[in-house]
Amino acid sequence: MLGKTPPTPLYKEGLRKEGRQSSLSKREGGRDFSLIKALCISVFVALLTLTPIIHLLNLSSYNSKFQLRGPLPTSDKIIIIAIDNESIDWLMKWPWTRRTHAKLVDLLKDAGAKLIVYDVFFDSPTQFDPQDDIDFAKSIKRAENVILASNYQKMEKNAQFQVLRLPFKKPIPILNKAALDIGVVHPDPDADSVVRRFQLVFQSKGERFYSLGLQAVRRFENIFDMNLSSTKSIRVGKHQIPQYRKKMMINYHGPSGTFKTIPFARVYDPSDPHFKGEELKDHPQWFKDKIVLIGASAIELHDVFSTPFDKELPGVEIHANVIETILNDQYIRVLNAAWVFVAMMLISWVNIRFGKRMKIRPFFGLLVFQTVIIYGVSFAMFIVARLEMPTYTLQMTLWSTFLLQTIIKFVQEEKEKKKVRDIFSQYVAPTVVNEILSHPESIELGGEMREVTIFFSDIRSFTTFSEAHTPKEVVELLNEYLDAMTQVIFEFGGTLDKYVGDEIMAIFGAPLPLPDHPRVAVACAVAQLKKLRELQTKWRLEGRTVLDIGMGLNTGTVVVGNIGSTMHKDYTVIGDAVNLAARIEALTRTYSDEKHTTHLLISEDTYLQVKDHFMCQYVDEITVKGKLATTKLFEVVVE
């Protein structure tokens, strides 16, 4: 009997009253694991972010935000004197004499520069005249505003892979003593060799050192009040500088050339006719009250670094960006890891909830949209609040959720399909089962009104046959007969509704629509009669009892669906048209006699739709029990 219908969640559109009630009961009685799934996904993605590829993708996304944002305007507090190719060509091959730097310091002091900051190492005595170091130190001493570069080195111990921090490389003692201060210039690139952060405070053998940029800010604003006790931020005067992993995120204002830059040689000798372009005879206007940074921009001096804007940005411009970031308090903050995890949980949980109710394709489209939204929100937060969110981490959470939901859906649907296949393969042809599985929305398991053709057949004198034979013989013959008839029904696309003893009930036109179902049903009945004749010949040769049947068909509108109790349901049809089909089948015995056996009767409704395809004879007009209207009966003539 066709009662083992598949679970209704397989058919999202076919779910009706009883299906909804059953689904509601399952949800109320079951547990919701959405939060646990979201937690597992978030932990999984968090672990993935520790891998190089996700880390590098987040870094790449960070770069793109700078590039999309574009350059920012800079203040007029900073000016750069570049040791560029033009200057090296004019003044002679690098390194220059210390007298050259002494002259520049004197010129800048006379021009009113507030700070002279050297991003050039003077950690060894001059290779020229030793008097050069003395003259340079005197110029630094007279200026009283010169900050020199120092370096903070690191070296890996290969045996144990431990980082050994070595002492600072300071300027030679005579210059170190003369300078106002020294500052660390060593950048620490990220894993992709891009400089995004700069460490402001260093420790070495109990001594504290500051970066060149921080020293410039301190001396420019005469700051001596600092609080360096917190790892999350440091306070330098009025500036509360946020730290990310003990470093400040550099708010780059643009690519190379963003800050006002003048070649060293043009400042050194602005009146020389060799130089063309901008005249610097009035150079005091350029440098008065400014922070003047001096550093190399020539590629051959190897003081260039990769940054979000530039693959080759001179180190001196990195320090300019550090100073500008602090002076204007335009810091970039990184979203706290705890809040990132909360965002991951929320994204995953929301999409798990949505994913339960959506098909894969719409869900995929939604996630594509959310991917764009996440990047848009991340970029907007970067622009408006200067807050860095790990874009790829959040997007990876999104797609990990999609992957998990897809796998769960796939496993569940495969289990349900297997159940459906196991059940429906007993009642419909394999092609129909495949169609149901491919297009479950085409059927309504909950119940619907549909026009179908109902088929009934019955073995004549089966009771007499059963009484005259052993149960084994009855079952063997009945199984052979039912198997042959069912195969024919399947071949014509019919649905086996049920067996009732020796009676067969089938439906044409459900669960899948069947075009021209009355003609197909009659053709199927004719094919069954021909198949029966083959069986009868076989049974005669075997010396077994020969069985005969009667068949009745009617076409009409019935209720089709998953019908039954809460404990058991059948996919079947109910209605007057079903009762009439059963009555017509029973009448095949009434209109049979010794001269003529009536095998196949059809109703008038079926006849009107098949009369052009089959030879039919009018039999009678009957009144159905409980009905006032009459119906005509026709016999299909089978040669």
Beta bridge partners of 455: 506, 553
**pLDDT tens readout for residues 313-333:** 999 999 999 999 999 999 999
Residue 474 scores a pLDDT above 70 = yes
Residue 588 scores a pLDDT above 60 = yes
Q: What is the rounded average pLDDT of the residues 190-205?
A: 88
Q: DSSP assignment, residue 10?
A: G
236 vs 223: CA distance, rounded Å: 7
When pLDDT is cut at 50, 70 and 90, the band that residue 163 belongs to is very low
Q: What is the rounded average pLDDT of the residues 129-150?
A: 95
pLDDT at 49: 85
Q: What is the rounded average pLDDT of the residues 553-579?
A: 84
More confident residue, 367 or 146: 146
387 vs 380: CA distance, rounded Å: 9
pLDDT at 155: 47
* Residue 223: Cβ-neighbour burial (10 angstroms; 0-12, 13-18, 19+): middle
pLDDT at 483: 93
Q: What is the rounded average pLDDT of the residues 338-360?
A: 87
Q: What is the rounded average pLDDT of the residues 515-544?
A: 95
The overall average pLDDT reported for the chain is 85
**pLDDT tens readout for residues 24-70:** 334 434 466 888 888 888 899 988 888 888 889 899 999 999 999 99
pLDDT at 32: 65
When pLDDT is cut at 50, 70 and 90, the band that residue 280 belongs to is low
When pLDDT is cut at 50, 70 and 90, the band that residue 384 belongs to is very high
Q: What is the rounded average pLDDT of the residues 198-215?
A: 87
Please, what's the b/e burial string for 156-169 (b: 16 or more CB within 10 A of its CB; e: otherwise)?
eeeeeeeeeeeebe
Residue 457 scores a pLDDT above 60 = yes
At a CB cut-off of 8 Å and minimum separation 6, what does 335 contact?
343, 387, 388, 389, 390
Single out the residue of 326, 248, 293 nearest to residue 147, CA to CA.
Answer: 293
More confident residue, 414 or 612: 612
Q: DSSP assignment, residue 104?
A: H
Walk me through the domains of the chain, giving residue ranges and CATH numbers.
35-63+335-412 (no CATH), 78-329 (no CATH), 425-636 (3.30.70.1230)
Q: For 132-136, 220-224, 449-453, 510-514, which range has the lowest pLDDT when averaged over its residues? A: 510-514
Q: What is the rounded average pLDDT of the residues 472-483?
A: 93
At a CB cut-off of 8 Å and minimum separation 6, what does 176 contact?
148, 170, 182
pLDDT at 23: 40
**pLDDT tens readout for residues 218-251:** 999 999 888 988 878 999 999 999 999 889 999 9
Please, what's the b/e burial string for 43-52 (b: 16 or more CB within 10 A of its CB; e: otherwise)?
eebbebbeee
458 vs 478: CA distance, rounded Å: 11
When pLDDT is cut at 50, 70 and 90, the band that residue 402 belongs to is confident
Residue 271 scores a pLDDT above 60 = yes
Q: How far is CA 242 from the centre of its chain?
A: 32
**pLDDT tens readout for residues 76-117:** 999 999 999 988 988 888 889 999 999 999 999 988 999 999
pLDDT at 366: 87
pLDDT at 629: 77
- Dihedral of alpha carbons 320, 321, 326, 328, sign: positive
Beta bridge partners of 168: 152
* pTM confidence score: 0.64
591 vs 619: CA distance, rounded Å: 8
